Homo-oligomer: A and B are copies of this chain.
């Protein structure tokens, strides 16, 4: 099984074909940054049109069994997630509705404070809000996974403790390897893993040591070091690939409608756009390089299988269905 636990590309037949060349059985795609419910539904509609147009390449995935079906049929199952809770607006009833629409991951915050928690760019992180606790409990009940990739440390640790089911960081790297605001400190990773959760390692240059110049060997050594420290079972890939997107999209991601100013997020005034990808991960076919790179740093076939998808597959199996009883 190969699974990419986060992408946000400008999707096209070209990219779907690259998924097949990368042997990706499943991809978790972002369908909302700042969209309200109705706007997010319009994004679902666009995905329905992709599924209608390219049935030989992709289909909508909602269960771990869909990953297996994809693997058996040579297609890619597409799983939906939000990077922000904006699509549920102020309405806890929408948690179950979005799960019924097939959404499987929701970040409680995107950089900023939300109704539920605080983002990693806020100067003060007050932790999980009153509504945040209610929403986590409802997410647990229906099988919508709490993703804290863009949240603050306190919010993440509190979410891991409060949630009755594992929480995840779909896309980030260890802070000690690359000290970016979005990367995760030891205590955060421990809290996530203690909940039974996972991290998907990111290939987004702002999360990498040496950014666009990061080497395959260096990345794979980071994977090896993290596995030594925490165990292989918590580790996967969430590439954060933003392929073929115009820079207007990174501006939407960072700015949404919350400010009239430009916020550069992980970029800067001099480098405001999407950074260039490392040449060994220009698109999803980088998974084929990862296979080799992970072997070169000493991982066994079995471990590589777990890291490139097996662990996420197990996680999907345990966390996408409603709690019974």
Enumerate chain A interface residues (CB-CB to B < 8 A): 37-38, 41-42, 44-46, 48-49, 91, 93-94, 96-97, 100-102
- Contacts A/B (CB < 8 Å), 17 sampled: A37-B38, A37-B41, A41-B94, A41-B97, A42-B91, A44-B97, A45-B91, A45-B93, A45-B94, A45-B96, A45-B97, A46-B93, A48-B96, A48-B97, A49-B93, A100-B100, A100-B101
Task: Give, as a whole number of angstroms, the nearest-CB distance from A299 to chain B.
Answer: 40
Task: Give, as a whole number of angstroms, the nearest-CB distance from A13 to chain B.
Answer: 20
Task: Give, as a whole number of angstroms, the nearest-CB distance from A258 to chain B.
Answer: 22
Task: Give, as a whole number of angstroms, the nearest-CB distance from A89 to chain B.
Answer: 9
* Docked CA distance A97–B98 (Å): 11
Q: In the complex, what residues of B have CB within 8 A of residue A101's CB?
A: 97, 100-101
Task: Give, as a whole number of angstroms, the nearest-CB distance from A208 to chain B.
Answer: 37
Task: Give, as a whole number of angstroms, the nearest-CB distance from A63 to chain B.
Answer: 15
Task: Give, as a whole number of angstroms, the nearest-CB distance from A139 to chain B.
Answer: 14
Q: In the complex, what residues of B have CB within 8 A of residue A45's CB?
A: 91, 93-94, 96-97
Task: Give, as a whole number of angstroms, the nearest-CB distance from A57 to chain B.
Answer: 17
Q: Is the CB of B102 within 8 A of A48?
A: no
Dominant secondary structure of chain A at its interface with chain B: helix
Q: In the complex, what residues of B have CB within 8 A of residue A42's CB?
A: 91, 93
Q: In the complex, what residues of B have CB within 8 A of residue A46's CB?
A: 93
Q: Is the CB of A100 within 8 A of B97?
A: no
What are the 9 tightest A-B residue pairs by CB atom distance, in nearest-first order?
A: A45-B93, A48-B96, A38-B38, A41-B97, A100-B101, A44-B97, A45-B97, A37-B38, A48-B93
Task: Give, as a whole number of angstroms, the nearest-CB distance from A272 to chain B.
Answer: 33
* Docked CA distance A49–B97 (Å): 11
* Docked CA distance A49–B46 (Å): 29
Given contact pairs A37-B38, A42-B91, A45-B94, a sample of 11 additional A-B residue pairs in the complex whose CB atoms are under 8 Å apart: A38-B38, A41-B94, A41-B97, A42-B93, A45-B91, A45-B93, A45-B96, A46-B93, A49-B93, A100-B100, A100-B102
Chain B's closest residue to A38 (CB) is B38
Q: In the complex, what residues of B have CB within 8 A of residue A94's CB?
A: 41, 45
Chain B's closest residue to A48 (CB) is B96
Q: In the complex, what residues of B have CB within 8 A of residue A100's CB?
A: 100-102
Q: In the complex, what residues of B have CB within 8 A of residue A48's CB?
A: 93, 96-97
Q: In the complex, what residues of B have CB within 8 A of residue A102's CB?
A: 100
Task: Give, as a whole number of angstroms, the nearest-CB distance from A79 to chain B.
Answer: 15
Chain B's closest residue to A99 (CB) is B48
* Docked CA distance A58–B279 (Å): 55
Task: Give, as a whole number of angstroms, the nearest-CB distance from A323 to chain B.
Answer: 12
Q: In the complex, what residues of B have CB within 8 A of residue A96's CB?
A: 45, 48
* Docked CA distance A38–B45 (Å): 15
* Docked CA distance A27–B48 (Å): 29
Task: Give, as a whole number of angstroms, the nearest-CB distance from A78 to chain B.
Answer: 14
* Docked CA distance A48–B94 (Å): 10
Q: In the complex, what residues of B have CB within 8 A of residue A91's CB?
A: 42, 45
Q: In the complex, what residues of B have CB within 8 A of residue A97's CB?
A: 41, 44-45, 48, 101
